[in-house]
Amino acid sequence: MNAEKQPVAHNVDHHEIAKFEAVASRWWDLEGEFKTLHRINPLRLGYIAERSGGLFGKKVLDVGCGGGILAESMAREGATVTGLDMGFEPLQVAKLHALESGVQVEYVQETVEEHAAKHAGQYDVVTCMEMLEHVPDPQSVVHACARLVKPGGQVFFSTINRNGKAWLMAVVGAEYVMKMVPKGTHDVKKFIKPAELIGWVDQDYSERAAYHRPALQSADQYLQAGAGRRC
């Protein structure tokens, strides 16, 4: 990766960034590596909109936005959306697709910790989907999201449970058998148990904001939602 494209930052796994840089050009291919994200996105969007009392007129931050699948859909609901990612190529894809689609989203290349230092308490809704398992210190991300949301705001996390069933479904099934995501996308050692995530959340959110477990709480539900709409 070009050094000018990648700012120096903490809590970044450059190997993880490189994996998504390599497939960024296919982010909006509905039958490509990210087809599962496309297929579950309507369900995910509906859940977020329902739990947050609608997105229209709200200021929303999508942490780890990648190529902008969720960010764009929230903007279409009338939200003012900012997408954060440390991958240069995915952000370029996201910006181009938003331009072509006539959707306004602000995309920023910086870590959530850096963003929290400048924009604390500014967002009505913060989403962080399938990002925690790709950083060295996921607890730091949870803490930063707590700083970014307004008092009484909503924070949504989605990640993969660290157990045998999740490994079987998210790694063996999704990467090697069904080929729903690129091989090497997931590292089971970085998966996060619900108790761990809840413990981090309890430290930061008890009085500041509401948080929600995702509509798709386990790997098997996640994959069924992605595969169930095949034609």
- Cα 65 to Cα 186: distance, rounded to the nearest angstrom: 17
pTM: 0.79
**169-195: b (≥16 Cβ within 10 Å) or e:** bbbebbbeeeebbbeebbebebbbeee
- Cα 70 to Cα 63: distance, rounded to the nearest angstrom: 10
- Residues annotated as binding site? 44, 64, 85, 129
Calculate the average pLDDT of the chain.
Answer: 81
CATH architecture label of 3-227: 3-Layer(aba) Sandwich (3.40)
pLDDT at 124 over 50: yes
Average pLDDT over residues 208-213: 52
- Cα 220 to Cα 174: distance, rounded to the nearest angstrom: 10
DSSP codes of every residue in 129-198: ES-GGGSS-HHHHHHHHHHHEEEEEEEEEE----SHHHIIIIIIIIIIIS--S-TTS--GGG---HHHHH
Q: By mean pLDDT, which of 38-47, 55-64, 173-182 is the weakest?
A: 173-182
Yes or no: say if 85 and 66 are a contact pair by the CB < 8 Å rule: yes
- The better pLDDT of the pair 90, 5 is held by 90
Yes or no: say if 134 and 105 are a contact pair by the CB < 8 Å rule: no
- Residues annotated as binding site for S-adenosyl-L-methionine? 44, 64, 85, 129
Average pLDDT over residues 144-169: 80
Over residues 19-30, the pLDDT tens digits come to 889 989 999 999
Average pLDDT over residues 79-95: 98
pLDDT value of residue 230 = 27
Over residues 184-206, the pLDDT tens digits come to 666 666 777 778 888 888 776 65
The angle, 0 to 180 degrees and rounded to 10, between the axes of the packed helices 194-205 and 138-148 is: 40
